[in-house]
């Protein structure tokens, strides 16, 4: 669902700005409809106003096509024409607000249903992956479900929860999709050990500077039901290749709050 509730309301009421509309299509627009292919021929328009009006229609259409509901294009365009033309509308402003509240409520319910289904599927896939992964050579499983494999032990100091570390990492989903990588950005990241997701905080304290681990983090030690951004869904199991470059003693946040996270690098962003 590409639209938030507010964006939905704006998209529908924003149609009043459209000065030229193609109302000949009486078919409903299903949320799963594929977008039409562009010819790229702007010469189809009589003037700039026609082209801009069509562009506005396309923009609104792109917003509406992913809604979890069918759009009756006849009624949508009739509403636009009535408002733009200053005609009597079929709904009063009070009725409009009531209907929109219902649309928003239905949309939120559909979003929640989709998230619940995705969350359940991710949990099942992650549990199956971890159950099979723990049987592989070199993979160690801790009591809380965190799994790791030592690629290179390293011989430097180990961090504790109050330290800061500098690492290079690549984070992937269990299907191999890369969602973040300091390696690709060409720059390591530095952060407090206790300011990242629990799986990272725990694993980092097992490592030594110069070491490299592969981490397999279950959702309850990562981002759980909320996920992270658009790349990490609810209850995703995450995999990280982590190289611990250096440890800066006693330069962390000073409190063992391993459940915290931020919106940027490493386990702070879901990495």
Give the residue-averaged pLDDT of 133-141. 98
Give the residue-averaged pLDDT of 229-237. 94
Q: Is the pTM of this model over 0.75?
A: no
How far apart, in Å, do the first and last CA atoms of the chain sit?
A: 24
pLDDT at 162 > cutoff 70:
yes
Same domain, yes or no: 159 and 254: yes
Same domain, yes or no: 262 and 196: yes
Reported as type and span, the H/E element at residue 28 is strand 28-29
Same domain, yes or no: 156 and 78: no
Which pairs from 180-183 meet CB under 8 Å and 24+ separation? 180/231, 180/265, 180/269, 180/270, 180/271, 182/265, 182/266, 182/271
Q: What is the pLDDT of residues 46-92, one digit of tens each?
A: 999 999 999 998 998 898 887 778 889 999 999 999 999 999 999 99
**Over the chain, what is the mean pLDDT?**
82
How many percent of the chain have pLDDT more than 70? 77
Beta strands per DSSP E along 44-161: 71-72, 139-141, 147-152
Q: What is the pLDDT of residues 115-130, one digit of tens each?
A: 899 999 999 999 999 9
Q: Quick one: tokens of 132?
A: 């099979």
The answer as to whether 123 is a domain residue is no
Total of domains in the chain: 2
Same domain, yes or no: 201 and 86: no
Q: What is the pLDDT of residues 8-35, one digit of tens each?
A: 544 444 433 333 433 333 333 443 334 4
Same domain, yes or no: 142 and 264: yes
For residues 74 and 26, is the Cβ–Cβ distance under 8 A?
A: yes
Which of these three, 33, 60, 90, is where a domain ends? 90
Q: What pLDDT was estimated at residue 229?
A: 86
The answer as to whether 114 is a domain residue is no
Helix (H, G, I), strand (E, B) or coil at 72: strand
Domain that includes residue 159, residue range:
138-268
Check which CATH number belongs to the domain holding 146 and give it. Answer: 3.10.50.40
The answer as to whether 223 is a domain residue is yes
Same domain, yes or no: 154 and 238: yes
Distance CA 70, CA 42 (A): 29
How many percent of the chain have pLDDT more than 90? 63
The answer as to whether 195 is a domain residue is yes
Same domain, yes or no: 171 and 57: no
For residues 251 and 163, is the Cβ–Cβ distance under 8 A?
A: yes
The answer as to whether 133 is a domain residue is no
Q: Quick one: tokens of 44?
A: 């189809």
268 pLDDT band (50/70/90 cuts)? Answer: low
Same domain, yes or no: 76 and 198: no
């Amino acid at each position: 669902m590409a639209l938030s509730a507010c964006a939905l309301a704006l998209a529908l009421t924003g149609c009043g700005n459209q000065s030229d509309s193609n109302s000949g299509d009486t078919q409903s627009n299903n949320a799963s409809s594929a977008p039409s292919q562009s010819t790229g021929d702007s010469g189809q328009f009589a003037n700039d106003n026609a082209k801009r009006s069509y562009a506005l229609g396309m923009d609104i259409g792109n917003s509406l096509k992913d809604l979890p509901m069918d759009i009756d294009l006849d009624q949508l365009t009739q509403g636009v024409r009535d408002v733009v033309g200053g005609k009597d509308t079929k709904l009063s402003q009070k009725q409009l607000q009531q209907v929109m509240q219902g649309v928003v409520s239905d949309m939120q319910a559909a979003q929640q249903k989709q998230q619940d289904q995705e969350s359940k599927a991710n949990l099942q896939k992650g549990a199956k992956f971890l159950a099979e992964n723990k049987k592989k050579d070199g993979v160690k499983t801790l009591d809380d479900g965190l799994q790791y494999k030592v690629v290179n032990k390293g011989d430097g100091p180990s961090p504790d929860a109050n330290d800061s570390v500098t690492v290079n990492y690549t984070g992937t989903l269990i299907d191999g999709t890369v969602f973040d990588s300091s390696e690709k950005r060409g720059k390591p990241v530095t952060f407090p050990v206790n300011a990242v997701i629990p799986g990272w905080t725990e694993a980092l304290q097992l490592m030594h500077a110069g070491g490299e681990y592969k981490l397999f983090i279950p959702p309850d030690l990562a981002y759980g039901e909320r996920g992270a951004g658009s790349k990490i869904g609810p209850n995703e199991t995450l995999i990280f290749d982590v190289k611990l470059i250096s440890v800066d003693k006693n330069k962390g946040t000073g409190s063992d709050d391993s459940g915290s996270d931020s919106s940027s690098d490493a386990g702070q962003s879901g990495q």
